[in-house]
Amino acid sequence: MLKEETLSTPHDCTECPIRHRAVCARCESDELEVLEEIKYYRSFQAGQTVIWSGDKMDFVGSVVTGIATLTQTMEDGRTQMVGLLLPSDFVGRPGRDGSAYDVVATTDLVMCCFRKKPFETMMERTPHVAQRLLEMTLDELDAAREWMLVLGRKTAREKIASLLSIIARRDATLNLRTPQGALVFDLPLTREAMADYLGLTLETVSRQISALKRDGVIVLEGKRHITVPDFNRLLDEAGDDSDGGMFA
């Protein structure tokens, strides 16, 4: 869900139950009735667990507002975040019964849900929905595998830069640009959540953010508000290939 390709697929129809054209009740009018019938909303408070790993999951849906994380936890408490759900991201596993990981709301969260069975029935009748979901899942798989490189081979500094560039890129359309072309955004995560995402400790996250600030790669106002004066510099710090001008 962090890949470039997905950026274009959510659309801005605020009435859409799932903010993707392929499964949008408004934009695919032939599916409207079925979807409306099985649609409902759920909201969660910051910190609440939406689904526990292993629990039976009888719905699919998407984030409307707020942020949730997918995390895996070992018995001794070590946790690894394996995904980040931002508004318009799809949640669910058509054809699978239980959740494979905890889904935790990190801010107050509103989700739009569909009961799973009827949704699957609808899927069988409308092949392009399954195809769209397949493409979305392939994008998530790419994102997960890209993250494996970050976790396995990058240094702490590169990990931080990778995370910042992904967050900045993720909702590039929403981000402000200063007249000088700098990117401005708010970190949606605490230091601890960043650490869980990056396989680091929160102390190391804090130190590396301070270092990037000291070196002028980023400008920090408060703890969350970030300005990136030169996005290609950030990509360079992340060890990624420069993106060939998209943010030049």
Q: Which residues bind a copy of itself (CB under 8 A)?
A: 5, 70, 72, 74-76, 78-80, 82-83, 93-96, 100-101, 123-124, 127-128, 130-131, 133-135, 137-138, 140-142, 144-149, 151-154, 198-199, 239, 241
Unique residue bearing structure tokens 């996005």: 231
CA 132 to chain centre: 18
Look at residue 98 and give its three-state secondary structure: strand
State the minimum distance, in angstroms, from the CB of residue 204 to DNA. Answer: 3
Cβ proximity to a copy of itself: between 197 and 231 the closer is 197
Among 191, 219, 239, 243, the residue binding DNA under the rule CB under 7 A is 191
Sign of the dihedral through C-alpha 217, 221, 224, 228: negative
Among 210, 215, 242, 246, the residue binding DNA under the rule CB under 7 A is 210
- Return the one option of DNA, a copy of itself, none that residue 172 interacts with (CB less than 5 to 8 A, by type): none
- DSSP assignment string, 27-86: TSGGGHHHHHHHEEEEEE-TT-EEE-TT-B--EEEEEEES-EEEEEE-TTS-EEEEEEE-
Look at residue 89 and give its three-state secondary structure: coil
State the minimum distance, in angstroms, from the CB of residue 148 to DNA. Answer: 14
Residues in the chain: 248
Q: Which stretch binds DNA (CB under 7 A): 64-72, 92-100, 138-146, 152-160?
A: 152-160
- Return the one option of a copy of itself, DNA, none that residue 64 interacts with (CB less than 5 to 8 A, by type): none
Q: Which stretch binds DNA (CB under 7 A): 17-25, 61-69, 177-185, 196-204?
A: 196-204
Among 206, 219, 230, 233, the residue binding DNA under the rule CB under 7 A is 206
- Return the one option of a copy of itself, DNA, none that residue 201 interacts with (CB less than 5 to 8 A, by type): DNA
CB neighbour list of residue 78: distance below 8 Å, 6 or more residues apart? none
Cα–Cα distance list, 42 to 64, 67, 222 (Å): 10, 14, 32
CA 69 to chain centre: 8
Footprint of DNA (CB under 7 A): 155-157, 190-192, 199-207, 209-210, 220, 222-224
